[in-house]
Structure 1
């Protein structure tokens, strides 16, 4: 029997009553499925429901086989060893005991038929670019990207029938991403992947578009999906134009019909007043004219109502993904003004800045490099969260730092309350007016931060920092496209187009970095911060 995964009448709401899914029906069969949709559509929630990490409010999840789940935010016990994280510690210990001459029956029971478990684990680690870490190191020594790959290795060793991946390339450098792509290509079972990584979505067999609580299926990879969607949208926009023209025609015909009927009524009244025909005939003509007028009026009004409904349906079929629009005049930095100075800097984890480095004016600087190279450490040091071992760090303008964890938000507060913390002098009306430009309108501004999706949480954190007082003239972002769908990445790009200050962005998403107009590229490599040319970027990211 083929492995399958079916969700029937699936509903879920957060504890405060905020609905996420309502009566969703969806099935996944063999092959790789890319699950896409705007942030807040319920993609991550759906994966958690399938994985059993959340309990549905209503409905059922049926899976034929074992489920493996890689969440957005991977956390490992930092004191555990690699073999424990892989789930093979007991079998490995039993194997070593037997090799040392201990032939107790429990060792053979523990191993079962898995005599090559250690070789398979080491081979898999090598395939994922983790061959250097071995099985005896503690996971606390690993970088964020290595932790993600280690969790993936544990899943691949288990060989589950269904594999769920939620933003698996978050925190991965380009080298690690290529390793993950190979694992995805060779996956033989059911796979459902949520990602904003365009290259990863090019590897799927089909796209499931979750929108408005319903799923639309598209065959092929993300490029095929985009092409099909573009064709659909062109047709939908044509239907809107046709429906608008039809509505105008129906309105015109209704006016013309009223005019004709008014003329007939005036004529019938005039004939009645002049008594040119027998009284009974005139009464019959008048009554007939009234009945006819009523029928015509009802007919044209029904046509007008039907035309309005067709227009509403046509408009609903056209996607209207809002864009963040902000006006931030106080973030402007004059050209040539020194924004940041680094001098003979040594960071807490060993990276160095030899000599001096300055950021001037509204420069847009990308900070790239392998996982664990020290990019986040450098940003946290500039932000004042970490003290340098030696050297000088001086930010000469108001600055803000948005970390990967998005922990600038208080989960117990609403979006509006969180923003108000950063701008205590702003009125509630001003906060809400500004939040509306970040797409938090009306009741959305009163949603608690703890219930937001990854993309919504990022948008709320970005709003809090960009609307802060004083306005930041240096904005530092650490892996900002993590947890964002492709529509939200476009929204972020639009928001940053409005930002007039200096920008320092650490990341591996080269298409995004190129889209925000990076003017300067820095790489942390072999423990040093260096400036490189745009041509060298893809070899260093």
Structure 2
């Protein structure tokens, strides 16, 4: 018995930006109580579609029909000034109402607000404890939380909302490995409908179906991520075979058309010669010539029509293949001599952390993976090295040109276009060169001129990384805080390839073990139960 029931239905939904640019059009799909993974390349519109499903945005054309309660968790969790943990969880109205009632100063509607939620404080504290966040209080200021802790707190709030449909946009970003595993377990036990927008293969493996958004529209695959990959591979192979067959057929058809045209020309020439040899009257020869030319014209039209049919078959086969261009990142620096000191620190203690770090020096083109759970100080270390934060004690110094790419992409102005960003950081570079680099990143000519706030999270990250590498002088040290977040699989492989070939030094923070291994780190700075430890790989 099929117990599916629809929760959100798209009816020929289109979305256009204020300037008239179309993101997608005429999308139709039903999202029911199954757990659905929504996938697609960066910039194709997954986050916008998620907001349309949740009612955060309205379509330019078409309708979005909803039933039941919907909880939505955006890709970027931005805490408002003065926000608390309870605000991030979306439970502030009930918490504050209960606080006022308990304090003897209730508002007129507080009793109605708290209907069925009188245990909200206990529920919040229990949820934080179960998530390993028992050190947080509902009134803890959100500014004290790491990026991963913000994501975990907001996700807890979405789960506590007891919605019929949960829409999560990249919930695994900024989460450490244990938190990602807990997230997978929570989603597996979630009894309501789920739309998971993600590039995380492990999370997608647990979905009941995959819906792909591409330039061609929405396509549903009734299975998990492995089934989706196998289906797409079969489709690509079939499309390639169809394209090969169409090209072979066109080549054979063109050969036959040339032969028919040559035979027609030979017949026409032979008829005219015979007429001349038989001493026919000029008027008869003229009539014969006209008939021959008319016949040749009809034959030419017929052959041209057939040629167009063959070309159209090839064009349709090419369109069906729909292979996306590869993503390429450009950037290089001169190799550092092995004895060149890049940075050092001594007796260093970080803000927001009690443990000191072991004394450390980095020489040459070595690469360091900074590993540990959320909140242990990984991002704080990069902020201290870059001068954004002052250490509690100790000294540190970077001795080569460097660049920082943090989780929030602070160097990327929201109102600045991708092209303007690269022009500002590389003023001596030709515009044509910068445009080419953006195209290689998957940012086309139109998107290159949009404010960066209009780009997807993955596109912004790639533009920010390209800007870092375009600086003059070229950085000889990159400080990268989770550069694998927000980007699709193809882009992640491109970032891995670029960083493997990078000839400067690296300090990389990441929770993705496969990504870290692909960079082939020479050493690790690892948080343990006993504090920070430095080890060679």
- Asked if the contact 1:366/1:521 (under 8 Å) is kept, the reply is yes
* Alpha-carbon distance in 1 for matches of 2:85, 2:281: 107
CA RMSD of the aligned region, Å?
3.0
- Asked if the contact 1:351/1:527 (under 8 Å) is kept, the reply is no
2:7 alignment partner in structure 1: 4
Pair 1:226–1:335, CA change in 2 (3 A): farther
- Asked if the contact 2:84/2:139 (under 8 Å) is kept, the reply is yes
- Asked if the contact 1:271/1:277 (under 8 Å) is kept, the reply is no
- Asked if the contact 1:3/1:162 (under 8 Å) is kept, the reply is no
1:384 to 369, 383, 387: 387
2:22 alignment partner in structure 1: 19
- Asked if the contact 1:3/1:189 (under 8 Å) is kept, the reply is no
- Residue 78 of structure 1: CA displacement? 6.0
Pair 1:360–1:16, CA change in 2 (3 A): farther
Matched, 1:469 2:472: yes
* Alpha-carbon distance in 2 for matches of 1:222, 1:476: 33
- Residue 230 of structure 1: CA displacement? 1.0
- Residue 330 of structure 1: CA displacement? 3.1
* Alpha-carbon distance in 2 for matches of 1:96, 1:464: 48
* 1:398-417 equivalences in 2 (<5 Å): 398-417=401-420
- Residue 175 of structure 1: CA displacement? 1.3
1:188 to 191, 195, 207: 191
1:61 alignment partner in structure 2: 64
Pair 1:260–1:282, CA change in 2 (3 A): same
1:425 to 424, 428, 438: 428
* Alpha-carbon distance in 2 for matches of 1:90, 1:352: 37
* Alpha-carbon distance in 2 for matches of 1:349, 1:106: 39
Matched, 1:375 2:378: yes
Matched, 1:157 2:160: yes
1:500 to 488, 498, 503: 503
Mean CA deviation greater in 86-95 or 164-173 = 86-95
Pair 1:388–1:297, CA change in 2 (3 A): same
Pair 1:497–1:294, CA change in 2 (3 A): farther
- Asked if the contact 2:40/2:488 (under 8 Å) is kept, the reply is yes
Mean CA deviation greater in 68-77 or 512-521 = 512-521
- Residue 288 of structure 1: CA displacement? 5.2
1:305 alignment partner in structure 2: 308
2:242 alignment partner in structure 1: 239
SS in 1 for 2:359: strand
Mean CA deviation greater in 352-361 or 61-70 = 352-361
SS in 1 for 2:368: strand
SS in 2 for 1:491: helix
Mean CA deviation greater in 78-87 or 364-373 = 78-87
- CA-to-partner distance for each residue in 1:371-421, whole Å, 9 max, x for gaps? 011111111122222233333322222111111111211222221111111
Pair 1:293–1:415, CA change in 2 (3 A): same
Pair 1:312–1:337, CA change in 2 (3 A): farther
2:128 alignment partner in structure 1: 125
TM-score (structure 1 length as normaliser): 0.89
2:335 to 326, 332, 337: 332
- Asked if the contact 2:332/2:469 (under 8 Å) is kept, the reply is no
Count residues with an aligned counterpart: 534
Pair 1:18–1:282, CA change in 2 (3 A): same
- Asked if the contact 2:329/2:466 (under 8 Å) is kept, the reply is no
1:538 alignment partner in structure 2: none
* Alpha-carbon distance in 2 for matches of 1:66, 1:213: 30
Pair 1:27–1:154, CA change in 2 (3 A): same
2:275 alignment partner in structure 1: 272
1:394 alignment partner in structure 2: 397
* 1:148-297 equivalences in 2 (<5 Å): 148-275=151-278, 286=289, 289-297=292-300
1:539 alignment partner in structure 2: none
* Alpha-carbon distance in 2 for matches of 1:104, 1:350: 40
SS in 2 for 1:442: coil
- Asked if the contact 1:343/1:353 (under 8 Å) is kept, the reply is no
* Alpha-carbon distance in 1 for matches of 2:104, 2:51: 45
2:493 alignment partner in structure 1: 490
Matched, 1:518 2:521: yes
- Asked if the contact 1:324/1:439 (under 8 Å) is kept, the reply is yes
SS in 2 for 1:490: helix
- Asked if the contact 2:47/2:169 (under 8 Å) is kept, the reply is yes
- Residue 274 of structure 1: CA displacement? 1.5
- Asked if the contact 1:522/1:532 (under 8 Å) is kept, the reply is yes
- Asked if the contact 2:253/2:307 (under 8 Å) is kept, the reply is yes
Mean CA deviation greater in 229-238 or 102-111 = 102-111
* Alpha-carbon distance in 1 for matches of 2:439, 2:335: 22
* Alpha-carbon distance in 2 for matches of 1:386, 1:258: 79
Pair 1:109–1:349, CA change in 2 (3 A): closer
TM-score (structure 2 length as normaliser): 0.90
- CA-to-partner distance for each residue in 1:81-129, whole Å, 9 max, x for gaps? 5445545566567778989999999776444334544444344334433
- Asked if the contact 2:97/2:107 (under 8 Å) is kept, the reply is no
User: Structure 2: which 5+ runs fail to align?
Assistant: none
* Alpha-carbon distance in 2 for matches of 1:248, 1:242: 10
- Asked if the contact 2:477/2:506 (under 8 Å) is kept, the reply is yes
Pair 1:238–1:79, CA change in 2 (3 A): same
Pair 1:358–1:115, CA change in 2 (3 A): same
* Alpha-carbon distance in 1 for matches of 2:240, 2:208: 28
* Alpha-carbon distance in 2 for matches of 1:401, 1:451: 23
Mean CA deviation greater in 102-111 or 11-20 = 102-111
